[in-house]
Amino acid sequence: MKIAVLIGDGMGDYPLQELGGKTPLQAAAIPNMRAIAAAGTVRLVNTIPAGMSPGSDVANLSIMGFDPRKYYTGRAPIEAAGAGIVMGPRDIAFRCNLIAVEAERIKDHSSGHITTEEARPMIAALNERLGKPGLAFHVSAGYRHLLIWENGPGELMTIPPHDVLGQPAAKNLPTGARQDEVRHLMEASKPILAAHPVNAARRKAGKTVPTQIWLWGQGRRTTLPAYRDLFGLTGSVISAVDLVRGIGKLTGLNAETVPGATGFLDTNYAGKVKAALNALDHDDFVFVHVEAPDECGHMGDLKLKLKAIETFDREVVGPIWRSLEAMRQPYRLIIATDHRTPVAVRNHTAEPVPVAVLNGPVSNTGLPSRSAMAKHGREAPFDEFVNGGQASGMAFEWLKTQIGN
Ligand SMILES: [Zn+2]
């Protein structure tokens, strides 16, 4: 059986007055997801174990079938795996954001979604001036980069910059053992970025300018059991972000980079769909992750978030579903979100999230939406449980029942 898991990152939200008391998932024009929910089953699952912070790292581990309490050592080591960096036993990986601080407050964790092409020479400049044997910056994607630090400080408290938007930078610096070494790197990045020609160009174009690096999410390397052993599955992870591709690589799945996948609204949807279908051609499992709804949640932009959810439905869910149907063989299609990123909160929250499962094929006509739509119309809910709904367990336990052998 072919299994496809499609994740719209951070699609979950809260009911909003602007939407007449509906959540963005309830209000959005998402005919494919509604039809899938109608023809299949929907339930709520918890992706964040009690006491853990609701990051995409913990949430995606969960929704890929791994208990974060057992396997999570930090965000950056997973991203390092995604970037193809082999960590040594004494290495500490840090996430290294290019961030914008204005009037001493954290204005933007993404520096106006700076591109990888722009970031590359900046990371090179940081390496030239701050790098040394055992301490190197690595380019990842957009504003998200990495620092690998042999015998680096691992036992300190760091704060994700997207958690403290608008707050004073000085109050959110790393604290704990060897904090000064980490703070020093962040401070030393300021003049290097200020003088960088890429920043001059961005300033001239009226774009947000990265003013410094922000180090967080540190940890030692981690290992995951192989998907083949756990679930008897081989396949691929399709995502723009190193975090999700990192989980894939750590568990032995293919996780090739899709050209033009940006982790934002302008991502190469067709390329991702093509890569997903290609993967299903020779393997049985694919996990497709789209980052954009989460970023729009962090921006607090409801209109943009609705657009991101609708684009995910139209450009990813629809084409993959139609292709699965066209294969005329048994498949299981799972649509989910890893966590909520409510636009009113501009951050992740830990409440349970909706998941929809459809066992197909559901139609002999090759037009799957027809029968489902006839049954439920456009009103079929995907996010119906959001108002005080109870979760039916942890995502990683639930996933085992869906894709286990
Ligand atoms: Zn996420």
87-138 residue pLDDT tens: 999 999 999 999 999 999 999 999 999 999 999 999 999 999 999 999 999 9
**Cα–ligand 1 centroid distance for 65 (angstroms):** 15
State which amino acid sits at residue 397: E
**Cα–ligand 1 centroid distance for 72 (angstroms):** 15
**Cα–ligand 1 centroid distance for 299 (angstroms):** 14
**Cα–ligand 1 centroid distance for 327 (angstroms):** 30
Q: How far apart are CA 189 and CA 180, in angstroms?
A: 14
**Residues whose CB is less than 8 angstroms from the CB of residue 209 and which lie 6 or more positions away in sequence, other chains included:** 100, 111, 112, 193, 199, 202, 203
Q: How far apart are CA 313 and CA 228, in angstroms?
A: 29
**Cα–ligand 1 centroid distance for 355 (angstroms):** 14
Question: For residue 157, what is the enclosing H or E element?
Answer: strand 156-157
**Cα–ligand 1 centroid distance for 292 (angstroms):** 10
> How much is the pLDDT for 386?
43
State which amino acid sits at residue 171: K
**Cα–ligand 1 centroid distance for 194 (angstroms):** 31
**Cα–ligand 1 centroid distance for 374 (angstroms):** 33
What confidence category does residue 377 fall into, taking pLDDT thresholds of 50, 70 and 90?
A: very low
Secondary structure (3-state) at 12: strand
**Cα–ligand 1 centroid distance for 370 (angstroms):** 32
Q: Which residue has the tokens 């998200």?
A: 144
Query: HSE-up of 85 (CA within 13 Å, CB side)?
Result: 29
pTM of the predicted model, to two decimals?
A: 0.86
Is pLDDT of 383 > 70? no
**Cα–ligand 1 centroid distance for 238 (angstroms):** 15
Q: Which residue has the tokens 């027809």?
A: 370
**Cα–ligand 1 centroid distance for 161 (angstroms):** 15
Residue 227 token pair: 């998907």
> How much is the pLDDT for 405?
61
Is pLDDT of 30 > 80? yes
Q: Which residue has the tokens 């769909």?
A: 273
**Cα–ligand 1 centroid distance for 378 (angstroms):** 27
Compute the mean pLDDT over every residue in the chain, rounded to the nearest whole number: 91
125-171 residue pLDDT tens: 999 999 999 999 999 989 999 999 999 999 999 999 988 999 999 99
**Cα–ligand 1 centroid distance for 354 (angstroms):** 14
**Residues whose CB is less than 8 angstroms from the CB of residue 322 and which lie 6 or more positions away in sequence, other chains included:** 366, 368
**Cα–ligand 1 centroid distance for 338 (angstroms):** 5
Largest Cα–Cα distance of the chain, in whole Å? 65
**Domain boundaries along the sequence of the chain:** 2-72+224-403, 91-219
**Cα–ligand 1 centroid distance for 134 (angstroms):** 31
**Cα–ligand 1 centroid distance for 54 (angstroms):** 8
338 touches 49 (CB < 8 A): no
**Cα–ligand 1 centroid distance for 222 (angstroms):** 20
Q: What angle do CA 112, 117, 132 make, to 5 degrees?
A: 100
Mean pLDDT of 52-76: 95
- Distances 69 to 78, 216, 394, 396 between C-alpha atoms, Å: 15, 19, 12, 11
What confidence category does residue 43 fall into, taking pLDDT thresholds of 50, 70 and 90?
A: confident
**Cα–ligand 1 centroid distance for 285 (angstroms):** 21
> How much is the pLDDT for 362?
87
**Cα–ligand 1 centroid distance for 245 (angstroms):** 13
Residue 231 token pair: 């679930």
**Cα–ligand 1 centroid distance for 188 (angstroms):** 30
- Distances 246 to 64, 74, 92, 253, 267 between C-alpha atoms, Å: 12, 12, 16, 10, 19
**Cα–ligand 1 centroid distance for 59 (angstroms):** 7
> How much is the pLDDT for 259?
85
Least confident of 19-23, 53-57, 288-292, 388-392: 388-392
**Cα–ligand 1 centroid distance for 270 (angstroms):** 21
Mean pLDDT of 221-227: 95
> How much is the pLDDT for 219?
97
Report CA 95 to chain centroid distance, whole Å.
14
Looking at the chain, the whole-number percentage of residues with pLDDT higher than 90 is 80
Is pLDDT of 370 > 80? no
- Distances 111 to 143, 175, 216, 241 between C-alpha atoms, Å: 7, 24, 16, 17
**Cα–ligand 1 centroid distance for 55 (angstroms):** 6
Residue bearing the bigger pLDDT, 257 or 220: 220
> How much is the pLDDT for 85?
94
What confidence category does residue 40 fall into, taking pLDDT thresholds of 50, 70 and 90?
A: confident
**Cα–ligand 1 centroid distance for 309 (angstroms):** 14
Looking at the chain, the whole-number percentage of residues with pLDDT higher than 70 is 93
Residue 306, class by beta-carbon neighbours within 10 Å (0-12 exposed, 13-18 middle, 19+ buried)? buried
Mean pLDDT of 209-234: 96
Mean pLDDT of 3-31: 94
> How much is the pLDDT for 297?
95
**Cα–ligand 1 centroid distance for 380 (angstroms):** 25
Question: For residue 162, what is the enclosing H or E element?
Answer: none
> How much is the pLDDT for 325?
93
**Cα–ligand 1 centroid distance for 366 (angstroms):** 33
> How much is the pLDDT for 392?
79
Question: For residue 69, what is the enclosing H or E element?
Answer: helix 68-71
222 touches 73 (CB < 8 A): yes
**Cα–ligand 1 centroid distance for 35 (angstroms):** 24
Q: How far apart are CA 193 and CA 125, in angstroms?
A: 8
CATH superfamily of 2-72+224-403: Alkaline Phosphatase, subunit A (3.40.720.10)
